[in-house]
Every structure is written in structure tokens, then in C-alpha cells.
Amino acid sequence: MIEKIELKGTYGYKNFITNEEKQTFLEWIDNNEDKFISYHPNRKSFKFENETSVDNLITEIKNRIINLEHISNWKREPRYLDYIGINSKNGSIPLHFDANDGNFIHTRYNVILSYPEKGGESIYGDNINILEENMVWKCVAGKMKHGSTLVESDKRRITFSLGFLIENSNI
């Protein structure tokens, strides 16, 4: 059962995806990791720009977010799209803001597919949040500085990030 939880500066939902859905993504990653782009030796990602075998699952999860969050006036985020990001040992995400589009605020819903035993915590504003697998958390990326701490274990931090441009009055 999906359970809403408060995080520092934001919120998320535990049990947002099933273990079967998570496993589908992890198997897809295993079979397609050679297509990921490396930004750093310990950080890479894949943008869903073209058709893949997980498109139906992506649509299903995106619709689950839209329904759960009652998102009405939004556009597809055109720069980063929906993507999977992987941080391996010694990888992190530098603090940054993402670009908005006028009155539409860049908002990301991040589904945790794999979470390290040590490190890889989410930095959101001045807060650090410890996440867990199968949850999703809301990141208002166009208004809040965000990133992650260094992954210190062999288990990778893998996030499926869904991008929305949501009208400011609906954030």
C-alpha cells in the first residue's frame, strides 16, 4: 500500500512501485547499460528519447504520479525528459537548479530503484534526506537547490526520474 511520508523540505510515497516493477527496470538497465552516457567515471544516465521495451511501464508510473498528485496543467520536460540516473561508488550529483519554462516550474518525481548501504543521500535545499527503494519523492528542481551525497558503498544509487513542467499555481 502506498504511504505518504514527510521528508525534510519535501515529501514522498513509500511502496510507490512494486518489487516486480523495480525488477523490470533493473533488468532493462542490465541489458541496456552500454547505451548510458557517462558524465563522470562514477555517474551516468539514460534519457528516454526513443521507443524502449519499458515505455508502457513508464507511462503507467507517470500516470500513477499524475493521479496521486492531482497534476493538471503540465507539459513534458523537454531537456532531461524522463531518465534513469546511476551513481556508483564515489559518484554524487553536484548541487544545482534545473531550468524552468516561464510560469511552468521544472518538477521531478524520483523513483528509487536501488539505494546504497552508505552515502547517496538526497540533498534538498539545506536538508539531507535518507531515501529507500520503491519510494518516489518530489523535487521542485526549478526552485530548490538539489543533488546527492557521495555513494560510499558498492551498491549503486539508481533513480528513475520523471520530468514535468507544472504551472506555478499548481506546485
pLDDT in tens, the chain (171 residues): 999 999 999 999 999 999 999 999 999 999 999 999 998 889 999 999 999 999 999 999 999 999 999 999 999 999 999 999 999 999 999 999 999 999 999 999 999 999 999 999 999 999 999 999 999 999 999 999 999 999 999 999 999 999 999 998 887
Q: Give the angle subtended at the CA of 31 by the CAs of 43 and 55, to the nearest 5°.
A: 90
**pLDDT value at residue 170:** 82
The whole-model pTM stands at 0.96
Q: Radius of gyration over alpha carbons of the chain, in Å?
A: 15
Cell of 37: 552516457
Distance CA 17, CA 156 (A): 18
3-state helix, strand, coil in the chain (%, to 5): 20, 40, 40
Cell of 148: 546527492
Q: Which of 78, 71, 35 is nearest to 54 (CA)?
A: 35
**Residue 91 near residue 119, CB atoms below 8 Å:** no
User: Count of residues for the chain?
Assistant: 171
**Residue 102 near residue 165, CB atoms below 8 Å:** no
Among the residues of 33-130, which ranges form H helices?
Answer: 55-69
Task: Report helix, strand or coil for 60.
Answer: helix
Distance CA 45, CA 85 (A): 4
